[in-house]
Amino acid sequence: MRSALSLATALAIAGCRPGESPHTPANGAEAGAPEPAPGAGLRGVLVGSPAPKPDFSLTTMEGERFDFRRDTEGYLTLLFFGYTNCPDVCPVHMANIGRVLKGLRIEVARRVRVVFVTTDPERDTPERLRTWLANFHPDFIGLSGTEDELREAQLAVGMPPAGRSVPDSTRPATYYVSHGAQVFAFTTDNLAHVVYPFGIRQQDWANDIPMLVAGWPSPTRPAGR
C-alpha cells in the first residue's frame, strides 16, 4: 500500500500541463537514442512506485457485493472516488472517459472497467448512482458501502478519506465533499503505473486508454481505436 504522501508527491513532482508526459524522452527521435522508457507516449502522470490494486469489497447499485480486485481481473480498470453532487471534477472526469470509450473500437472498449466509488453514501443512493452514471456510459460501475468500508477503500489506494464541509450552518443538508481528484489506472498486472489528475482531456484519454489496454510496459503504438 502506498501512502497518501507518496502519491501527492508524485503528482506534485510531475509539474506538467495535461497532455504532456514528463517522462517522454525529449530526444527519442535522434539516432542512437535509447529505447523509450515504459510509459513513453502516455499523457497521464507516471508514478515512481506503482500502486498495487487494492483488495476491498463494496456494494453495487444492484445490491450485490463487488470484490474490486477479483471482479476487475484482466481488465484495464479506472478507479475514481467522488460523489454525484460534485459541481466540477466528478462529472468532467466521467463525461470525458465515457465519451472516449464510446468512440473506441469495441474490442478495446470492452477490455476497460470504470469503477466509481461514492464518497457521499448518505445522498448517493443506488438509484441516484444508477441514474447519474447512466448519463455518461451504461457500463460504468457504481459502488457504495458503509462509512468505514469507504474509508478503508480510500486508504487502500493511499488517499486520505474524503471530508465534508458545510458552507451554510443553517442548511446542514447542503454540503460539499472533499475528495481526491485523480483517476487510478490499474493495468492487467494489477498495478497503477499512471494516475490522471483533474484537467486531463478527452484527447489524452483517447491516446492513453488503448496503450494501457495493450498491457504494461506500454508499447509506443496504441492498441487501436
Domain with 205 in it: 4-14+42-213
3-state helix, strand, coil in the chain (%, to 5): 30, 20, 50
Per the CB < 8 A criterion, the answer to whether 185 and 194 are in contact is: yes
Number of domains into which the chain is organized: 1
Identify which has the larger pLDDT, 151 or 2: 151
Q: Is 62 within a domain?
A: yes
Q: Is the dihedral of CA 56, 61, 62, 63 positive or negative?
A: positive
Is the predicted pLDDT of residue 31 greater than 80, yes or no? no
Provide the pLDDT confidence category of residue 99 given band limits of 50, 70 and 90. Answer: very high
Comparison of pLDDT for 20 and 110, the residue scoring more: 110
The position carrying cell 513513453 is 40
pLDDT grade, residue 165 (50/70/90)? confident
Q: Residue 221 domain-assigned?
A: no
Instruction: Please indicate, yes or no, if residue 123 is contained in any of the structural domains.
Output: yes
Q: What 8-state DSSP symbol labels residue 35? A: P
- Residue 93: name the closest of 109, 116, 111, 70 by CA: 116
Region 29-56: mean pLDDT is: 79
Could you give the percent of the chain with pLDDT greater than 70? 76
Band (29; pLDDT cuts 50, 70, 90): very low
The domain that holds 63 is classified in CATH as: 3.40.30.10
Round the average pLDDT of the chain to a whole number and report it: 83
The amino acid occupying position 213 is: V
Residue 181 forms part of a structural domain: yes
Mean pLDDT, rounded, for 79-97: 96
Contacts of 10 (CB under 8 A, 6+ apart): 45, 47, 48, 195
- Whole-number pLDDT of residue 195: 97
Pairing relationship of beta strands 163-165 and 76-82 according to DSSP bridges: unpaired
For residue 17, the model assigns a pLDDT of 33
